[in-house]
Chains A and B, each alone.
Chain A
């Protein structure tokens, strides 16, 4: 059920400001793709335009074509909520809903989309928490508030919440940047596990992480502040980190700039 994502010549604007320019890339199903690059180079903007989350900001719009299994998600008759159910997202800072318990957090997506049957919800909660490697830690306190967990547990809770609605693609926007190394490891293990079922795209500032987890890597960069971000190189992770084609990529991953 994982799907192929194809971006062709995607440019994104905030009002009159052009954030990214002419991005074209294809993401194969059941792979992990890492997007790396310096701050402000548009990788998060690109990620957020894949499930139309950038539209939350007023004045945001996009040019070009973004398809998921050949359906253009920016067609005028597309239901945004359906797109977001199909393409889930995990954010930089864990954002469990503070008024909900752990259980309610996990099934929030199902419940708020109209699933009422208790057995279905219970089943989904257990399955998602197990998939997120969190079940053993929280199974005795499912009714405690989700905000009471540690940062790493909260982030895994958010991942469980995301996969509970059975998306086909999971987008991760620096999911480990607020976490300690142990929690980071837990989430990276989790990503390998989820790869069997989902297409995963992850934005990260941590190049070791990109090298460890991803199959393919895209390197974004900007010439200078105020210019739109561009995709410099997109290739197998192995190649990007050992023998990149572009000079800029090599400079970045060897730490010579950025």
Chain B
């Protein structure tokens, strides 16, 4: 007897009817309206909260009501499906909410000082009663410090990741990977202290007639320490995703390994690598502690990252937010907005640049 001729054993789940009843949209909306009304009655009637609590209670009531209605009409499995779907949508909404709130707060509060003066002046000679004053020096500081840090961290990080993926074997590679993981957890203040002790106090006196000196470059050294592990790990993950057969295809054409990595593996992984780098850049741009420790912060414009104190946008926000002047908070908000927009623009530019090398589908 062949397999096909076997009689059914009776334990199968074959339904006689493949149609099922559906919960109508009207009922769905009805449950939602009922939930809101009920919740408003409970919360406002008892006087225990405002509209936020109404929404939270309404959401909970809606889930319960939906489950009850759906299990009556559609059965338990379909009802569970609906509940999970609703929960997942809610989680998504909850995750977006803080982000939207941050963006809204930044824009609404930052718009007050969003003027030409803010982007063209520094805080030099700005007293507590001066309504003007800007962040030009801080923008310069952030761009230079993050730019220098990127210039140092990207080649080191990408080459390190290439070593780990393509060449690294045995104990040494394991050790490197372990210490990169450890570095990921370094608090930024520790990176700042390290550069303060090593660069500012020991090395910088050699270049400055024996006196220690703050500089934007010292800040970018600290930022490099912070960016390196992020770049190495994300690049490593991306390079590992490049399929082995691609490398073999290149080897089989007689292409040497270094050229295979440079011309086949790296371009394939490029979009992911750029994303990782931009995450590191965004993190570095938002760091305050190391800049405060080793660049000192300055009220005046200092274009030279290698000589004298510099400020940065994050540090500027920190200083203005704590300033006693009634005009300071508005400057802090606008600087925060500027920082976010700056990182956003850099990220979009980097993505576009990475995509230009990809072929259109």
The chain A residues found within 8 Å of chain B, CB to CB, are 51, 53, 56, 58, 81-86, 88-89, 91, 93, 95-101, 108-109, 112-113, 143-145, 148, 158, 161-162, 165
Contact = CB atoms under 8 A, between A and B. Distances in A.
B250 A82 contact: no
Contacts of A83: 254
A101 B360 CA distance: 10
Given A95-B243, A148-B361, A112 B169 contact: no
Contact of A97 (B259, B264, B357, B358): B264
Contact of A113 (B246, B255, B360, B361): B255
Most chain A CB inside 10 Å of its own CB: which residue of B249, B252, B253, B360: B252
B163 interface: no
Interface string B275-290: 0000000000000000
Contacts of A51: 252
Contacts of A96: 249
Given A112-B263, A144-B359, A145-B361, A161 B253 contact: yes
Of A56, A143, A162, chain B has the most CB atoms within 10 Å of the CB of A56
Contacts of B360: 145
A112 B255 contact: yes
Given A97-B264, A97-B268, A148-B361, A109 B255 contact: yes
B65 interface: no
B130 interface: no
A53 B263 contact: no
B112 interface: no
Nearest to A101: B359
Interface residues of B, number: 27
A95 B253 contact: no
A53 B359 contact: no
B127 interface: no
B242 to A, nearest CB: 9
B248 to A, nearest CB: 6
A161 B255 CA distance: 12
B256 A95 contact: no
A165 B249 CA distance: 13
B341 to A, nearest CB: 31
Nearest to B170: A58
B254 A84 contact: yes
Given A53-B248, A99-B357, A165 B253 contact: yes
A81 B260 CA distance: 11
Contacts of A145: 359-361
A161 B264 CA distance: 14
9 contacts: A53-B251, A56-B247, A88-B253, A98-B268, A99-B264, A99-B357, A99-B358, A108-B264, A144-B359
A165 B254 contact: yes
Nearest to A96: B249
Q: A-B pairs with the 5 shortest C-beta distances?
A: A85-B254, A109-B253, A89-B252, A99-B267, A145-B359
B268 A99 contact: yes
Nearest to A93: B245
A91 B245 contact: yes
B359 A99 contact: yes
